[in-house]
Structure 1
Amino acid sequence: MSFASELEARLTRYAAIDSQSDPDRKGSPSTEQQFDMLNLLVAELTEIGAADVRLTDYGAVLATIPATAPGPTIAFLAHVDTAPQYHASGVKPRVHRGYNGGAISFPLNPDLVLSPETSPELAKKIGHTIITASGDTLLGADDKAGVAILMTAARQLLAHPAPHGKIRLAFTPDEEIGRGVNPRLPADIGADFAYTFDGGKVGEVEYESFSADGAQVTITGVSVHPGYAKGKMVNATTLAAKLLQALPQTQTPENTHDREGFIHVTDMAGGSSEMTIRLILRDFEREGLAAKGALLQEACARLQAEEPRARITCDIRPQYRNMRYWLETDMTPVTRALDAARALGLTPTTTPIRGGTDGSRLTEMGLPCPNLFTGMAEIHGPLEWISVQDMETATNLLLKIVTP
């Protein structure tokens, strides 16, 4: 059975809805517009006959596909928010049927070109239906492709029952800002194990992620009229520049790959009186992550010692940890996904995620949750694209996992 038309319709419909999260706002969800997606999913789940459909007070949509046979309770998750790193308002999805292997141009940005030269995976998609945005926004396939896959599979399972255990569905907000997993979510899901559909290349079954911390450095200088500042002013922007220069340039995202971690400055704000610097720290191992935190704190301490008139604070907080630490003690969900992929004729891979998913937190909190592919590529920017056929393969993977 083909799911291509439904997946295309769902993704283009969902992608056009602005549901961008915002790290600077409190609450869950962090933005009101995420309710546009959440409320739509409540209506669609109810319409297709899902049970126990509800929107929690922390902004997650939960639903059940009742069991038709004995088996484990399996949950599937996708997140409704899109990344705050790029424009996500007014997304206009474009559908390119029968991709011919050449360059794809964008009507709203003539200088932008998507081609196999810049995105090698695209060369494998000749003949596929490719969905992109229009050049001035991201597409939002991360993770509305996952949402479309879960909803398509759910409708299929409810319309054409097959033998399977109880299935739980969860659609979370704020994954892109690291706040997608409320402490109550694992118990509210109530599954034996789970999967996020939030991965990239076809065949990827990911059970290892970065460990992650977030950091905020605040530099408070001494504010004086610049005309009379000699010997008195302490310029916070100057100290911020010194701090960034003191960090190892070999440990930035653009200079690391594979299993190398990084220290990444995500944004800076302020002026000569006070500067705030936000960073993320990433490493696959706890020891490496701790070393990066210590390096940042030492750089701040040295700067403080050089300029005692300033006040420099460095706050580091945990975000998530490598899911491998828990999954390697019981590989049941990983093995089940790998077996399902092979049954579909795929050659699965287990490449570590240079990032994290809601599954990282869920696994740490006691709900084992590997991450599975959707087909999304070049995410978080205007070149983002996805193949409808790859989404269809992911949908079939979900169905094979629950009905092996």
Structure 2
Amino acid sequence: MKKVQDRFLEYVKINTTADESTGTTPSFEGEFDLAKILVEELKTLGLKNVEMCEHGYVYATLESNIDKKVPVIGFIAHMDTSPDMTGKNVNPQIVDYKGGDILLNKEKNVVLSPKNFPELKLYEGKTLITTDGTTLLGADDKAGIAEIITAVEYLIEHPEIKHGEIRIAFTPDEEIGEGTKFFNVEKFGAKYAYTMDGGRIGELEYENFNAASAKVVVKGRNVHPGYAFNKMINSMTVAMEYADVLPKHQVPEKTEGYDGFYHLVGIEGGVEETTLTYIIRDFSLEIYKTRLKVLEEKQHAINSKYGMDLVNIEITESYRNMKEKIEPVMFVVDHAKKAMERARVKADIRPIRGGTDGARLSFMGIPTPNIFAGGENFHGKYEYVPIESMEKAVEVIINLVQIYCE
């Protein structure tokens, strides 16, 4: 049987960096490359109904080996990696961690230190897979893919372990918010599902942000700067004024837990026109809606001040808090917690300060909590994953499918 870390090390070497600018699904050709490899691997293992659709979604079935009827359970992970840092030429390093600093890259002086990342102390005595300091690692979410396939292989090799029908899906473009854009719920056919897309070992999540993006376009009037008196309107200056009137302490770097925020993620422009791009997040639907109103109120205030419509806003809602869809079937969370306990993992139930494919799927009819994949410091060069955490995730999956048969 192939070890989970061996699979993972193969997958991360395939560049699957999502690219929002392409407008295609998948957004990057490398996602197709990984999808094709996964299809062949699943077929070789003997799974049924293995297919890849035209948009790169991979589906497969492990058939039930029991007579009684139990719900069809699904496991989902995404193939793409974050565009925040390159996933090209990933060169993973194996570290038997004894404590202290880890030198990721001597030439660039990139150091993974418990001084900056105190959770590193939790993994003394563990074996870590790190980056070489020049790319992200891709544990988000190739660790999840490796864990699901390794668990399925174990179940195939141990038919004495009883389970119902298990459906698998690997999705593209989760990192740019389009992981479920072409997800075929009917074809997937699971009653309940789990994304293996969480972080630290023990994480179990069924609450996530309500999320939207806002494109704030500010118009100006450009004239020769030498003759601009009472004529020029510098759109960049007006844009800065707009940004400045939003709540200054409700930003990511000053919020935690159940706090929401406004996050300015992009600025582009010149004197004639400037665009501010925001993402808006909150767990409370009521406060989330208030945040969207605040954006519009500030727009109207500035337009009123200048006596013209300089500021225009386009708001796009992204996803909702899956809590309202999970709470009526809380046993899906309880079963996952029990599966962790059997693996001697303490469940850490906390809100996701982000979103997963499961958030949208829950509103598409498949309640889908999120289970840890084991990684830390996603989306950057300090990302790493303990092998022992991945092994525990495999164990949790195996336990979970048995619980649904009890």
TM bracket, shorter-chain basis: over 0.9
The one of 11, 18, 21 aligned to 2:15: 18
The alpha-carbon deviation at position 310 of structure 1 amounts to 5.3
Instruction: Report the equivalent of 2:331.
Output: 332
The alpha-carbon deviation at position 184 of structure 1 amounts to 4.6
- Contact in 1 for aligned 2:55/2:182 (Cα 8 Å): no
Tell me the SS of whatever aligns to 2:148: helix
The alpha-carbon deviation at position 185 of structure 1 amounts to 2.6
C-alpha root-mean-square deviation of aligned residues, in Å? 1.6
Instruction: Report the equivalent of 2:138.
Output: 140
Instruction: Report the equivalent of 1:290.
Output: 289
The alpha-carbon deviation at position 190 of structure 1 amounts to 0.7
Asked if 1:194 is matched to 2:212, the reply is: no
- Contact in 2 for aligned 1:109/1:134 (Cα 8 Å): no
TM score, norm. by length of structure 1:
0.95
- Contact in 2 for aligned 1:234/1:310 (Cα 8 Å): no
The alpha-carbon deviation at position 12 of structure 1 amounts to 1.6
Instruction: Report the equivalent of 1:383.
Output: 382
Range with greater deviation from structure 2 (201-210 or 256-265): 201-210
Which aligned pairs between 1:346-357 and structure 2 lie closer than 5 A?
346-357=345-356
Instruction: Report the equivalent of 2:28.
Output: 31
Work out the CA distance in 2 between the residues paired with 1:109 and 1:12.
Answer: 23
Work out the CA distance in 2 between the residues paired with 1:194 and 1:89.
Answer: 31
**Paired-residue identity, %:** 40
Tell me the SS of whatever aligns to 1:53: strand
Work out the CA distance in 2 between the residues paired with 1:124 and 1:18.
Answer: 30
**Alignment size in residue pairs:** 400
Which aligned pairs between 1:41-56 and structure 2 lie closer than 5 A?
41-56=38-53
Which aligned pairs between 1:168-183 and structure 2 lie closer than 5 A?
168-182=167-181
Tell me the SS of whatever aligns to 1:106: strand
Work out the CA distance in 2 between the residues paired with 1:188 and 1:339.
Answer: 29
The one of 112, 116, 129 aligned to 1:131: 129
Asked if 1:62 is matched to 2:59, the reply is: yes
Unaligned runs of 5+ in 1: none
Which aligned pairs between 1:240-279 and structure 2 lie closer than 5 A?
240-279=239-278
Letter in 1 for 2:88: S
Instruction: Report the equivalent of 2:151.
Output: 153
Work out the CA distance in 2 between the residues paired with 1:127 and 1:90.
Answer: 28
Work out the CA distance in 1 between the residues paired with 2:118 and 2:374.
Answer: 13
The alpha-carbon deviation at position 285 of structure 1 amounts to 0.9
Instruction: Report the equivalent of 2:396.
Output: 397
Which aligned pairs between 1:73-152 and structure 2 lie closer than 5 A?
73-96=72-95, 98-107=96-105, 110-152=108-150
Instruction: Report the equivalent of 1:302.
Output: 301
- Contact in 2 for aligned 1:65/1:168 (Cα 8 Å): yes
Letter in 1 for 2:112: L
The alpha-carbon deviation at position 259 of structure 1 amounts to 0.7
TM score, norm. by length of structure 2:
0.95
Instruction: Report the equivalent of 2:358.
Output: 359
Tell me the SS of whatever aligns to 1:9: helix
The alpha-carbon deviation at position 53 of structure 1 amounts to 0.9
